Amino acid sequence: MNAYRASLLWFAPRSEGVARALFEKDGLLVVGPDLQGRQVVQAIGGYSTVSKQYPQVPVQHFPGRIIAPGFVDLHIHYPQIDVIGSPASGLLPWLENYTFPEENRFSAPDHSAQAATFFVAELLRNGVTTALTFATSHPESVNALFAEAQARRMRMITGLVLMDRHAPDFLVNQGQGSVSGTEQSLRDTESLIQRWHGVDRLGYAITPRFAPTSTDAQLRGAGELAKQFGDVWIQSHVAENKDEITWARELFPASRSYLATYDDFGLMRERAIYAHCIHFDDDDRALMRDTGAAAAISPTSNLFLGSGFFDYEGADRVGYQYGLASDVGGGTSFSPFHTMLAAYYVGREGQTKPGLSLTPQHLWWQHTAGAAGALGLDGANGGPAVGNLLPGCEADFVVLNPQATPLLARKTALASNLDELLFSLIVLGDDRLVEKTVISQAL
**Mean pLDDT, contiguous 10-residue spans, the chain (443 residues):** 97 83 98 91 98 96 98 97 88 85 94 98 98 98 98 97 95 94 98 98 98 98 98 98 95 98 98 98 98 98 94 98 96 97 98 97 98 95 92 97 98 98 98 96 51
Q: How far apart are alpha carbons 108 and 112 in whole angstroms?
A: 6
Topology (CATH) of 2-69+388-438: Urease, subunit C; domain 1 (2.30.40)
Q: How far apart are alpha carbons 389 and 45 in whole angstroms?
A: 10
In the DSSP assignment, the letter for residue 385 is B
Per DSSP, what are the bridge partners of residue 440?
none
- In sequence order, the 6+-apart residues with CB closer than 8 A to the CB of 409 are 402, 403
Listed in order, strand segments (DSSP E) in 12-165 are: 21-33, 39-46, 59-69, 71-77, 128-134, 155-159, 161-162
Phi–psi pair at 208, nearest 5 degrees: -65, 130
Phi–psi pair at 161, nearest 5 degrees: -75, 125
CB 428 within 8 A of CB 408: yes
Q: What is the CA radius of gyration of the chain?
A: 21
Residue-level pLDDT at 443:
38
Q: How far apart are alpha carbons 319 and 289 in whole angstroms?
A: 6
SS3 category, 380: coil
Residue 388 is inside which H or E element, if any? none
Q: How far apart are alpha carbons 39 and 70 in whole angstroms?
A: 14
Does the bond joining 329 to the residue before it have cis omega, within 30 degrees of 0?
yes
Of residues 161, 95, 111, the one with CA closest to residue 305: 95
Listed by start position, the domains of the chain span 2-69+388-438, 71-355
Match domain 71-355 to its CATH number in 3.20.20.140, 2.30.30.240, 2.60.40.10, 3.20.20.70.
3.20.20.140
- In sequence order, the 6+-apart residues with CB closer than 8 A to the CB of 93 are none
- In sequence order, the 6+-apart residues with CB closer than 8 A to the CB of 108 are 140
pTM of the model: 0.97
Q: How far apart are alpha carbons 374 and 294 in whole angstroms?
A: 6
- In sequence order, the 6+-apart residues with CB closer than 8 A to the CB of 381 are none
> Per this entry, what is the length of the chain?
443
Kindly report the number of other CB atoms within 10 A of residue 119's CB atom. Answer: 25
Query: With b meaning 16 or more CB within 10 Å and e meaning fewer, what string describes 51-83?
Result: beebeebeeeebeebbbbbbbbbbbbbbbbbeb
Residue 21 identity: A
Task: Calculate the alpha carbon distances from 279 to 204, 265, 276 in Å.
Answer: 28, 21, 9
